[in-house]
Amino acid sequence: MPATTFPALLDGLLRADGARPLVTFYDDATGERVELSVVTYANWVAKTAGLVQDELGLERGDRVRVDLPAHWLTPVWLGAAWTVGLEVITDVEEGADLVVCGPDEVERYAAGDAPVVALSLLPMGARFREPLPDGVVDYGAVVWGQPDSFLPLDPPAPDDVAWRGDQLLTQADVAVGAGAESWEPGTRLLTDLSPVSDAGLAGFIGPLVAQGGTVWVANPDPEGWDHRASVERAHRFV
């Protein structure tokens, strides 16, 4: 039977092959490369979900604005939000209960009404090197202390709103049929699209359902796509 919630989908991936690569990230400006297996990804999701529920007090049905670029922590935050049962929104004007942002957006969101978690986007999820505005939570300073497993107080259900009013797994079905390439088992995609964009979401969810993975590239070298696609055995997804 197909999974009907994100936690069920991730659990199925763990049981199938927890050691395989799921999330890969390159930053062509810095030379950084990060690769998360299914097990490691699930661990980051659990820690982040614990932070959201136990430290920040969000509950199933609350709304989170995730404003992050193509980066390995972006799918972590999406997975954590869906694991808690949060609705991910793309416009803070919709009324967010939490905002998650990178370093370039801290000042803007700190001036708003919603609580803010800021990510430095430095290697290995490190904390900010400079102090943040009062009230802004430094993700890199608090996530490491969270448990490696997560127990939801109110588990997400199949009919929860997960993405802009659409069911997550319905979106996944659409994603699997998107694009010119066939979504065969083990499909890997190569992209610079953030998974919180319309097209980028399909590039994350589709490979999850197909038991494949996604390779994200920040600050991409325009001449390096073909070589990287070959090295990573991935289809270019635009």
**Above 60 in pLDDT, residue 25?**
yes
- The pLDDT of residue 205: 87
Phi, then psi, of 112 in degrees rounded to 5: -90, -170
For 28-86, write each residue's pLDDT tens digit.
Answer: 999 999 999 999 999 999 999 999 999 999 999 999 999 999 999 999 999 999 999 99
Q: What is the mean pLDDT of residues 126-136?
A: 97
Predicted confidence band of residue 177 (pLDDT cuts 50, 70, 90): low
Q: Are 204 and 230 in contact (CB under 8 A)?
A: no
In the chain, the DSSP E strands lie at 21-27, 32-37, 63-67, 87-89, 98-101, 116-118, 136-138, 188-191, 213-218, 235-236
SS3 state of residue 23: strand
For 148-174, write each residue's pLDDT tens digit.
Answer: 999 999 999 888 876 544 455 555 555
Among 3.40.640.10, 3.40.50.12780, 2.170.150.20, 3.40.50.300, what is the CATH number of 6-236? 3.40.50.12780
- The pLDDT of residue 170: 57
As a whole number, the mean pLDDT across the chain is: 90
**Above 70 in pLDDT, residue 180?**
no
pTM above 0.85, yes or no: yes
Residues 6+ apart with CB under 8 A from 227: none
- The pLDDT of residue 162: 65
Side chain identity at residue 76, one-letter code:
V
For 57-73, write each residue's pLDDT tens digit.
Answer: 999 999 999 999 999 99
- The pLDDT of residue 3: 76
Domain boundaries, given as residue ranges, for the chain: 6-236
- The pLDDT of residue 165: 40
How far from chain centre, in Å, is Cα 140?
Answer: 16
